[in-house]
């Protein structure tokens, strides 16, 4: 029995992905650019993304969970993968040692777990002001930290996309930590942090959203290409008469006769209700507005400008990340990570 093809698809532009990584690597100066591939590469498919970036020359990858690392072990070398959430129990540390993964140590508790398991190469996260994961500066002189074999000394910027004093405060604390902990490499900058300049680059940068088509700050405008292109099929066309309403709660009413299409896409697929009456789809260069409320599995669009579009045809979501974020009110990160599993990643 052959399962029919999905009525949704998410095209990954590998050439644009690689071009974005190379642009961010170039902007990193003497530092090398790694890649944040956590959350399934921000929803685009970590295995496919990691394989493409490895072939392009990327040699450091960051995931959040052990399961994410496990899914990449047959795609890229284990020693290239760092697990940001670190070992929470001896079983985590044992898995990391057996697989050859680098745990990111975030606390004295995690450092002890790693040491008691036998230790080995690891990364160390230092909290310089974001107050999420990371070792407090005051604990850097603890003997258990001195016993770690630290590859990358990490910290994470809280407001890199904004020109605020906090960035410089964090940079100075990170530099202080570099003088207190023996390490091989140091890393602070995410995508926006790369644009802050050489003082933030260290030895390794960790772009995420910039790889996938997002521009978190104006300094990256024009240097980042769109990577994700979601598409959906029209599953029915309808002819409305003046006065006919569309969708739940009749939030759109036709003012004249018009042709509309029902698209196989809804909030269950990550096309959330914030797009209701605001979103746009594309066909043959024509812009097709979303009408009425987005529902769980369906969205209605205006086909007045596209008489050639019929049932079974594909339309593309207008999903340029900076513009889509401005229209929807969602962050560029949410726009990608919310795209549902009914989208085959192509």
**Catalytic annotation, residues:** 38, 248
Distance CA 21, CA 17 (A): 6
Residue 148 token pair: 């770690």
Q: Which residues lie closer than 8 Å to 23 by C-beta, 6 or more apart?
A: 223, 224
| Residues 302/260, Cβ–Cβ less than 8 Å | yes
Query: How many CA within 13 A on the CB side of residue 212?
Result: 32
Beta strands in the chain (DSSP E): 8-12, 32-33, 35-36, 61-63, 81-83, 102-105, 121-127, 135-136, 149-154, 185-187, 204-205, 228-240, 245-246, 252-253, 258-263, 280-283, 286-291, 299-302, 314-317
SS3 content of the chain, % helix, strand, coil (to 5): 35, 25, 45
Q: How far is CA 56 from the centre of its chain?
A: 19
* Sign of the CA dihedral with 34 first, then 39, 41, and 47 last: positive
Distance CA 338, CA 34 (A): 23
Distance CA 84, CA 82 (A): 6
* Closest to 159 in 3D by CA, of 129, 139, 179, 138: 129
Query: What CA–CA distances, in Å, run from 208 to 36, 63, 152, 166?
Result: 5, 11, 17, 21
- End-to-end, the C-alpha distance of the chain in Å comes to 22
| Residues 317/232, Cβ–Cβ less than 8 Å | yes
| Residues 71/47, Cβ–Cβ less than 8 Å | yes
């Amino acid at each position: 029995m052959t399962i029919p093809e999905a009525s949704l698809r998410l095209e990954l532009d590998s050439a644009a992905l690689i071009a974005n990584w190379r642009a961010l690597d170039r902007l990193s100066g003497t530092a090398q650019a790694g890649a944040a591939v956590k959350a399934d590469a921000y929803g685009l498919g970590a295995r496919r993304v990691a394989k493409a970036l490895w072939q392009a020359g990327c040699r450091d990858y960051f995931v959040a969970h052990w399961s994410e690392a496990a899914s990449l072990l047959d795609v890229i070398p284990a020693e290239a993968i760092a697990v940001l959430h670190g070992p929470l129990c001896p079983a985590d540390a044992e898995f990391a040692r057996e697989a050859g993964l680098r745990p990111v140590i975030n606390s004295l508790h995690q450092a002890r777990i790693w040491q008691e398991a036998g230790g080995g190469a690891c990364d160390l996260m230092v909290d310089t002001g974001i107050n999420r994961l990371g070792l407090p500066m005051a604990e850097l002189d603890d003997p258990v930290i001195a016993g770690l074999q630290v590859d990358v000394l990490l910290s994470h910027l809280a407001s890199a996309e904004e020109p605020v004093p906090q960035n410089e405060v964090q940079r100075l604390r990170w530099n202080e930590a570099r003088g207190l902990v023996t390490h091989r490499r140091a890393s602070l900058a995410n995508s926006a942090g790369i644009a802050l300049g050489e003082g933030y680059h260290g030895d390794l940068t960790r772009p995420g959203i910039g790889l996938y088509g997002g521009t978190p700050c104006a300094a990256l405008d024009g240097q980042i290409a769109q990577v994700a292109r979601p598409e959906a099929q029209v599953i029915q066309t309808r002819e409305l008469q003046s006065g006919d309403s569309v969708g739940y709660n009749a939030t759109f009413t036709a003012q004249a006769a018009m042709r509309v299409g029902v698209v196989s896409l809804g909030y269950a697929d990550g096309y959330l209700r914030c797009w209701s009456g605001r979103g746009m789809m594309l066909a043959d260069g024509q812009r097709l507005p979303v009408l009425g409320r987005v529902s769980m599995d369906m969205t209605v669009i205006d086909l007045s400008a596209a008489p050639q579009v019929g049932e079974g045809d594909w339309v593309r979501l207008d999903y340029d990340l900076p513009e889509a974020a401005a229209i929807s009110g969602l962050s560029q990160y949410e726009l990608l990570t919310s795209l549902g599993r009914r989208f085959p990643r192509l």
